[in-house]
Amino acid sequence: MTGRLTVWGVHMGEHVGTRPVENGYVSIGWAKLGDLRAYSDREAFKSALADCYPEKKAGSRPVDAGILYRFTHQMKAGDIVVYPSKHDRMVNIGRFTGETDYVADDQDGYPNRRRVEWLGHFPRNDFSQSALNEIGAFITVFLIQGHAGEFLAKVGAQPYQAEPVPTDLAPEEVADDDAATVGVSRQAEMTTGDFIIRQITGKLSGYEFEELVAHLLECMGYTARVTPRSGDGGVDVIAHRDKLGFEPPILKVQCKRKTDQTPRPEVDQLLGTLGDGEFGLFVSLGSFSRQAVELERNRPKLRLIDGEQFVELLLEHYGRLSPRYRSIIPLKQIYVPDLQG
């Protein structure tokens, strides 16, 4: 196949959860502007932004107008979209169908949508770090150029010859200092998480990951032990507050070193092992299905820890980790300003 095949990246907030994937769309906010299809060009967007968002810096309006123009007028049916989800650390790849929607009462505050046929959903670990860096761009809507082929290959797209990207897109990559700093902060967090998970999956076996989970629980104040390698009934670690383990609550922990999505039946297996005074903790480096998350909401004795949450816990207690684990996951503290309050 020859000719132009454009690959876009779109960011959405973590609060959207799995709704865009389940319902086949990507979306952006700017609710005060209403239906974005009412604006024909960048100048119209700039004028509307000045009227509806007077608190925003004037210097950011060209950037924001470029984002809105791209989303409304430059994305075409057949273009490929890559949506890196902050909710579950999955990289979702799809194809635009050409349909657009305006949902005034959208619960996420993202009323402007473009319909997507999703082609595949992949753990971040399936991609090179440089590809992940490219989709970590701080702009909401952006072109993917350097690693477009890597993302296309994941969904079985044929090699292609891309035409030069229109030069009028280039100026939109320059954002104001505050937005750039926030973007760097967010990307640093995601890159650190990618590094930690790559180190664990690359250097620890499944059983060694169970030992790491037990050690992390000890750093949190529990007494923990790994169960024998066979006949554990789906329980990999047992943890408790008292030294001997006689006093409730008792935590039964299942550990999965995989980075893909864990379905509900695996969580049900852990629940089936629980007795009186026992709680279930499922730790995965990946994510959990919507059905598994709904189960957690309805079972007070169940807690699910996904890859994102595991990284947060490990960072919080990193100073208490044994030298062995700090050598496997070597981290250096840096200062990243928080401009979001």
- Ranges of each domain in the chain: 7-175, 200-328
pLDDT at residue 186 is higher than 90: no
SS3 79: coil
Q: At what angle do helices 177-203 and 307-316 cross, to 10 degrees?
A: 90
pLDDT of residue 5: 76
Higher pLDDT, 297 or 337: 297
pLDDT of residue 191: 81
Confirm if 112 and 31 have CB atoms less than 8 A apart: no
| Pair of tokens at residue 222 | 């529990």
pLDDT of residue 164: 47
pLDDT tens sequence across 304-314:
999 999 999 99
Which CATH number is 7-175 given?
Answer: 3.10.590
Measured CA to CA, the distance from residue 230 to residue 49 in angstroms comes to: 62
pLDDT of residue 167: 44
Amino acid present at 199: Q
Please provide the distance, in angstroms rounded to a whole number, between the alpha carbons at the two ends of the chain: 48
Give the position of tokens 């990507």: 26
The domain defined by 200-328 carries CATH number 3.40.1350.10: yes
pLDDT tens sequence across 188-215:
566 888 999 999 999 999 999 999 999 9
The band of 177, judged by pLDDT with boundaries at 50, 70 and 90, is very low
What number of H helices and E strands is found in the chain?
A: 11, 13
pLDDT at residue 31 is higher than 60: yes
Confirm if 45 and 68 have CB atoms less than 8 A apart: yes
pLDDT at residue 319 is higher than 50: yes
Confirm if 249 and 268 have CB atoms less than 8 A apart: no
Q: What is the per-residue DSSP string for 277-315?
A: TEEEEEEESSEE-HHHHHHHHH-TTEEEE-HHHHHHHHH
pLDDT > 70 fraction of the chain, expressed in percent and rounded: 85
pLDDT at residue 296 is higher than 70: yes
